[in-house]
Amino acid sequence: MKKYKSFLKRYEGNPVFAPEDFPYCRADQVFNPGQVMTPDGRTILLLSVVPITGGGARCHVAESSDGLNFTIREEPLFSTKNSAFPQFDGHPIDCRVTYFAEEDCYYIIRPGNGADNGPVALLYRTKDFVTAEPIEIVSLPTNRVPCLFPEKINGQYVRLDRPYNCATAKYSGSMAHIWLSRSPDLIHWGEYRLVLRRGFVPWTSDKLGPTPPIKTEKGWLEVFHGVQDCFSSWRYSIGAALLDLENPEKVVGVMKSYLLTPETEYEFHGVVPDTVFTTGAVVDWKTRTLRVYYGAADSCVCLAEGNVDEIVDACIKGI
C-alpha cells in the first residue's frame, strides 16, 4: 500500500491523555482540546471530558511548561452546572481558544447545544482560565465552530465560521463550507464571505471545520478538519490552508494532502471511529514547530508535530 508523505509526526508517547488516566472522575472520553500558547510560553489545553457515570460533559484546564507534561485542574472551567447559558449548554465540549494580545486576554468560543434547530456558538473571555466571563451567543443555529483571528484586521474583529444544516441525514447539499465574517464589537457579525468550499479534494467531500488562524510571515495558517463519508463511518482528517494577511477571505494556497488522517489503532477505534479532530494548533516559534493536540476517535488526546514553514510552503504549492 502506497504511503503518503506525512506532514505531521505523531508523538511516540501517544496518547497524551487517556480516559483511564483522568484523575477526577471515571471518564469515558477525554478528547478535542482547545489549545493556546501563553505569552510566557506555557501550553494551555481545555480538555473535553465525558464521565462514564453521567453528570454531563465538562471542560478542564490542563497546563504545561514543556507541552508534554500537564497538570490538570480539578474544577472544570465549563460544566452543565455552572453554565451562563443553561438553555444551550447540555454538553460543553470542543472549545476554540484565541489569545488576543491587543487586549491581553483569551477568547473562548464553544458549542452551545440544546437548541431545537442545532447548536449555537457561546463566546467567553478570560485572563487566567480560572473563571470565564460570558459575553454572548454569537451565532444562529446551526453554527457551532466560529474561530476568532488573534488580532483586528482593518479595525475589525474577524472570524471563520462553518454553518450547515444538521437536519439533513447526509451533509451533501447542506453547505458545511468555511466562511468569514467581521464585527465591530465581537457580538454583531456580518460582511459574510465564502472562503473555502468542501469537496475540493475527496477527503473533504462532506464538510469542513475551521480552527483559530495562526499568523505567519506569509499569511494566516488555517488548520481545518475535513470529513468524508466512507459508508461504514465518516472519516475525519486534518488539513491546512493559507489566507492573505490583509484580506483573509482570499485563499493564498491550500494543501491537497492531509496533515493527518487516521492510521493508528487509537485513531481507528473509539467512540467515533476513524477520527483525528482538532479545535486548534499552537506554534513553538523558537523551533518553528507546529503542535497539534487532537482528539483520536473522540476518546483520547494525542499530539502530532511538524515544521510550520514546510506546511506553509505546502499550502502555497498546493501539495
* 120 Rama sector, left if φ>0, alpha if ψ -120 to 50, beta otherwise: beta
Question: CB-side exposure of 166: number of CA atoms within 13 Å?
Answer: 15
Q: 3-state SS of 69-131?
A: CCEECCCCCEECCCCCCHHHCCCCCCCEEEEEHHHCEEEEEEEECCCCCCCEEEEEEECCCCC
Predicted local confidence at residue 164, as pLDDT: 83
| Cis preceding linkage at 80, omega within 30 | no
Segments of the chain with pLDDT less than 70: 1-5, 114-117, 166-174
Is the bond leading into 184 cis (omega within 30 degrees of zero)? no
Give domain 9-317's CATH number out of 2.40.400.10, 3.40.1190.20, 3.30.365.10, 2.115.10.20.
Answer: 2.115.10.20
Report the predicted TM-score, pTM, of the whole model to 2 decimal places.
0.96
Q: Which of 137, 138, 157 is nearest to 148 (CA)?
A: 157
- Euclidean distance between CA atoms 129 and 149, whole angstroms: 19
Q: H helices of 206-273, where?
A: 265-268
Cα gap 319→316, rounded to integer Å? 8
> What is d(CA 244, CA 185) in angstroms, rounded to the nearest whole number?
22
For residues 298 and 206, what is the distance between their CA atoms, to the nearest angstrom?
Answer: 19
pLDDT of residue 86: 83
Reported as type and span, the H/E element at residue 307 is: strand 300-307
The CA distance from 160 to 63, in Å, is: 26
C-alpha–C-alpha distance, residues 314 and 309, integer Å? 9
The string of pLDDT tens digits covering residues 44-70 is 999 999 999 888 899 999 999 999 999
C-alpha cell recorded at residue 148: 476568532
Q: Facing residues of 306 across strands?
A: 290
* Number of neighbours of residue 151 by Cβ within 10 angstroms: 15
Q: What is the pLDDT of residues 221-267, one digit of tens each?
A: 999 999 998 877 899 999 999 999 999 999 999 999 999 999 999 99
Instruction: Decide: 316 and 253 in contact? Cβ < 8 Å.
Output: yes
> What is the helix (H) or strand (E) element at residue 313, kind and residue range?
helix 308-317
Identify the pLDDT of residue 314: 97
Query: Which residues, in sequence order, are bridge partners of residue 179?
Result: 161, 194
Half-sphere exposure of 178 (CA within 13 A, CB side): 32
Angle at 92 between CA 87 and CA 98, to 5 degrees: 115
CA dihedral defined by 203, 207, 208, 209, rounded to 10 degrees?
Answer: -130
Residue 309: φ, ψ to 5°:
-70, -40
DSSP at 252: E
pLDDT at 1: 40
Instruction: Report d(CA 278, CA 34) in Å as an integer.
Output: 8
Q: Which of 57, 36, 43 is nearest to 101 (CA)?
A: 36
